[in-house]
């Protein structure tokens, strides 16, 4: 069984962000997160919009701009990860279906990745009380790491288990990458990838009272499994 492998946050990339936030007078983690959003979110959104508009005007660039836009989107997600890293959320349990959780994780992916995700449901229509959006983000990060690290496709399996639910992401790496892939499970060293995804998954799963496990199969594929207990109370329920 393979242990979780983390990359240290990119200090060179992280330090300038902190300087921007400090100049704005940010003190607490919440203020820091707000400052990061103010300093970076709007410029990135403007850049993405400009590139999208440009792609409609330049026919010759139609084969290049989608890749540029994908990198802008990747940078934007990295910034969001940095913001979430500094501002941990409090779980807000709601009643939702397992299908809603896995489908939402798939829909949060860039459009070019969605068709590479296969969903398998063992308990059709099964419901549980959990912070669905938080759990969905955890699944999305695991799927992204699998696909970015070389997997052609990713299989997502959801099922009820021991009073809660389990969610498993299974990669299908190319034959030539299987040995290397198993050695560093779900960890991408590609450019612009800060390695915060797995750290955020483990933190948020712990906040929900669950567990996060990485392991390799005898055939060389790699699995990431989340075991999430059902919350005893939904935030939508009135106190007695």
pLDDT for the residue numbered 38: 59
- Given a contact cutoff of 8 angstroms between Cβ atoms, the answer to whether 198 and 204 are in contact is no
Print the domain residue range for 45: 11-86
- Same domain assignment for residues 100 and 186: yes
SS3 breakdown of the chain: % helix, strand, coil, rounded to 5? Answer: 50, 20, 35
What is the spatial distance between Cα 78 and Cα 91, in angstroms, rounded to a whole number?
Answer: 22
* Placement of tokens 């007078």 in the chain: 25
Closest CA to 143 of 163, 165, 176, 115: 115
Partners of 169 in beta bridges: 156, 224
Question: Tens place of pLDDT for every residue, the chain, 240 residues?
Answer: 223 333 333 333 334 444 444 454 545 555 655 666 656 666 667 777 776 776 666 665 566 666 666 777 777 777 777 778 888 889 999 999 999 999 999 999 888 888 889 888 777 788 999 999 999 999 999 888 788 766 678 889 999 988 899 999 987 644 444 444 333 444 444 444 446 778 889 999 999 999 998 877 666 677 889 999 998 766 555 443
- Same domain assignment for residues 80 and 117: no
- Is residue 120 situated within a structural domain? yes
What CATH number does the domain containing 151 carry?
3.30.565.10
Query: For residue 165, how far is the Cα from the chain centroid?
Result: 19
- Supply the pTM of this predicted model: 0.66
Domain count across the chain: 2
């Amino acid at each position: 069984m393979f242990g979780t492998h983390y990359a240290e946050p990119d200090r060179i990339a992280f330090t300038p962000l902190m300087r921007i936030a400090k100049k704005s007078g940010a003190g607490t983690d919440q203020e820091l997160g707000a400052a990061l959003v103010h300093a970076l979110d709007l410029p990135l959104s403007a850049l993405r919009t400009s590139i999208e508009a440009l792609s409609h005007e330049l026919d010759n660039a139609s084969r290049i701009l989608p890749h540029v836009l994908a990198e802008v989107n990747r940078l934007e997600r990295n910034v969001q990860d940095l913001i979430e890293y500094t501002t941990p959320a409090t779980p807000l349990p709601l009643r939702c279906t397992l299908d809603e959780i896995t489908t939402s994780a798939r829909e949060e992916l860039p459009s070019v990745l969605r068709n590479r995700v296969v969903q398998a449901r063992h308990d059709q229509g099964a419901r549980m009380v959990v912070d669905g959006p938080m759990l969905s983000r955890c699944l999305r990060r695991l799927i992204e790491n699998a696909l970015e690290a070389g997997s052609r496709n990713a299989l997502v399996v959801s099922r009820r288990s021991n009073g809660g639910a389990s969610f498993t992401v299974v990669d299908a790496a190319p034959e030539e990458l299987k040995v290397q892939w198993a050695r560093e499970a779900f960890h991408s060293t590609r450019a612009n990838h800060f390695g915060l995804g797995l750290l955020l998954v483990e933190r948020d799963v712990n906040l929900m009272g669950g567990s996060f496990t990485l392991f390799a199969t005898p055939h060389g594929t790699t699995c990431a499994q989340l075991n999430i207990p059902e919350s005893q109370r939904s935030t939508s329920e009135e106190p007695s």
